[in-house]
């Protein structure tokens, strides 16, 4: 509890960032191993996410989800249905997310938007005129971290493992607030 209060005090004293980028599955909601979130009943918001988003909302100009969703490319889900799932997830997490940017392509489609390529981030930059050097990404895989690091975005890695692409690492979503201590 003492660490949480310290993190909240530090957050209140911090400067404003430009953009908070978030991966979706494994960051906001539980990742379905060897499967996909194909319906709103599949959404399971991860512990601490609602509180985290409510606390950091005012520190960022915008919060943007950048997510690979090859289930669309595989024909398992339509873009309309995916947008409904994303809207529901946003509502369940407090309606703090400004935009969901999605890569619906398969690995072999050779698109520019599928992470670890940086197309989703660049698209966000075109829409919002983002200062990447004053932005933060939270991801749970190195494919989330790689394009962020290449663009100069600070990274927070949710994992039990170290990564050379991570500026900070936390073991779970419950520890996201503490990751902002000394990030810049």
Mark the binding-site residues for Zn(2+), compressed into ranges: 103, 105, 111, 113
The token pair at 89 is 């997830």
* Catalytic residue positions, numbered: 23, 25
Annotated binding site: 23, 25, 103, 105, 111, 113, 140
CA distance 148 to 69: 18
What strands, in cross-sheet order, belong to the sheet with 168-170?
A: 99-103, 60-68, 17-22, 136-139, 154-158, 168-170
The shares of helix, strand and coil residues in the chain, as percent rounded to the nearest 5, are: 40, 20, 40
CA distance 73 to 75: 5
């Amino acid at each position: 509890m003492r660490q949480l209060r310290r993190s909240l005090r530090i957050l209140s004293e911090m400067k404003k960032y430009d953009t908070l980028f978030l991966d979706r599955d494994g960051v906001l909601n539980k990742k379905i191993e060897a499967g996909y979130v194909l319906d709103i009943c599949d959404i399971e918001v991860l512990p601490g996410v609602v509180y985290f988003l409510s606390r950091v909302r005012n520190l960022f100009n915008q919060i943007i989800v950048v997510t690979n969703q090859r289930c669309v490319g595989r024909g398992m889900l339509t873009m309309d249905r995916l947008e409904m799932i994303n809207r529901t997830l946003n509502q369940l997490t407090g309606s703090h997310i400004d935009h969901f940017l999605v890569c619906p392509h398969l690995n072999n489609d050779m698109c520019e938007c599928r992470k670890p390529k940086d197309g989703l981030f660049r698209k966000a930059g075109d829409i919002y005129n983002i200062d990447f050097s004053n932005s933060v990404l939270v991801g749970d895989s190195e494919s989330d971290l790689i394009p962020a690091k290449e663009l100069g975005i600070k990274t927070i890695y949710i994992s039990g493992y170290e990564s050379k692409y991570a500026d900070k690492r936390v073991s779970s979503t419950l520890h996201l607030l503490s990751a902002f201590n000394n990030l810049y």
